Amino acid sequence: MSHRPALQKEITSLLESIAFRGEVRFEEPLAGHTTFRIGGPAAAMLSPAGPEETVALVVALRRRGLPYRVIGNGSNLLVSDRGVRAAVIKTRPALDRLAAADNLIEAGAGCLLSRLCRFAAKSGLSGLEFLAGIPGTVGGAVVMNAGWGGKSTGEAVESVSFLDPSGRVRRRKASRCGFGYRASRFRKSGEIVLSAVFRGRSDDPGKISGRMTGILAERKASFPGSLPGAGSVFKNPPGDFAGRLIEKAGLKGKRIGGAGISPRHANFIVNRGGAGSEDVLRLIELARERVAADFGKRLELEIEYWPPGGGRGSRNVPTGKNK
């Protein structure tokens, strides 16, 4: 996807105006920043030098009306092969802080969940083991209320720090974050998660690590192997499982181009080599159509798709979240 030099010129001017100290890469392929290993170039990939610079950057982009998106580990995300005409802000390692005190852990939005879990175990704080093995960041987990084994992120959260649309950094108690099944208010509010405080319970570090090891083994046995993917593609419909419905519809193992519905778990689409975004989108539509026809149930996406075009701040695409 060709991005107009005018946008990159505007981004360059903006970065100079805030004395940006982070890393800048123009026309950066997003395939290297997503677990799907799919995605065309961003107009610019911006990696701020720290939390303050991250906030200053978003505020400046908003004031100038320039399109932007936010990315963490790129899990749970499918990006168009044509890329995005936007500045993509990378939260890792800018928002990667970890600190523990009084059975609480504060973790930056860019912190990997695996790192958070190891830190909690070392600190002797139990309650976050269920997050072990989820290949995302704290920001993404909060936004989508990620979970495993009947537990979800929101249940362990005490409060969330975020940047509101007016450019103010605020903190909100978990009870006011609108946590639901794979949902939170941050998915549509235009607020950007900066950090979260998690509650823990004192426990023996060895016992915590042992439980984490068990959960990791369960995930490894249940989910596809090493092929690139983005986790569960669809939310489970009420009273049922998306993977069961897709399998019953006869689509387990179905391939289109380089993408395929996993033969191990039908709610996973994997990149078998050279897959493009259109291959994945065609499989998504096929699964939706077949499940609707066979069972009368609508499958709702759990992953997020970035279509070609702008991001938050642009006039025509009013979206943009931590991913």
Catalytic residue ranges? 182, 232, 302
Distance CA 129, CA 221 (A): 17
Closest CA to 143 of 41, 54, 73: 73
**DSSP track, 90-104:** E-TTTT--EEEETTE
CA distance 138 to 72: 9
Half-sphere exposure of 201 (CA within 13 A, CB side): 7
Q: Which residues fall within 8 angstroms of residue 45, CB to CB, at 6 or more apart?
A: 23, 24, 25, 26, 28, 30, 33, 88, 90
> What Å distances lie between residue 6 and 9, 12, 49, 59, 85, CA to CA?
5, 10, 25, 20, 11
CA distance 50 to 55: 9
Residue 52 tokens, joined: 């303050």
Task: Give dist(CA 210, CA 212) in Å, integer.
Answer: 5
- Helices (H), ranges, the chain: 5-17, 51-64, 113-122, 138-144, 153-156, 205-222, 242-248, 277-295
Tokens read off for 104: 């609480």
Give the helix/strand (H/E) hosting 30.
Answer: none
CA distance 209 to 220: 16
Dihedral angle at the C-alpha atoms of 287, 292, 297, 301, nearest 10 degrees?
30
Token pair, residue 34, equals 């997503």
